Amino acid sequence: MRFIDFNLGKHVGPFFFNILLNNVTFFKERKLISPTNLVGSYYHECFVHGIVKTLDCLKDLIFEYGKRNLYDDKKKNQIYNKLLEKHLFENS
């Protein structure tokens, strides 16, 4: 199966949906979001499933994406910081 490599800077939801597709067994897409995921985002579901356990894990995932796309460290850090600004406190 082929997966589109969504631009993490612009398409956060589809990017993390692909991460879930690669790591979680499910039969219906609506069942992919856990009841404990109050935000209902694929980003948060990666934390619920333990795919991303810490912010360091998240940074590793983003840097892996950046490496595939030939981004320098400055660009990778910009994407990481933007993602944190937008999503870090959504479940608070």
1 within some domain: no
Number of domains the chain is built from: 1
77 within some domain: yes
How confident is the chain (92 residues) per 10-residue block, as mean pLDDT?
70 91 88 91 94 95 94 95 81 42
17 within some domain: yes
2 within some domain: no
pLDDT of residue 11: 85
On whether the CB atoms of residues 49 and 22 are closer than 8 A, the answer is: no
pLDDT of residue 3: 58
pTM for the model: 0.81
6 within some domain: no
Sequence-distant contacts of 3-12: CB under 8 A, at least 24 apart: 5/65, 5/68, 5/69, 8/62, 8/65, 8/79, 8/83, 9/78, 9/79, 9/82, 12/43, 12/83, 12/86, 12/87
**Containing structural domain, residue 62:** 12-87
pLDDT of residue 91: 45
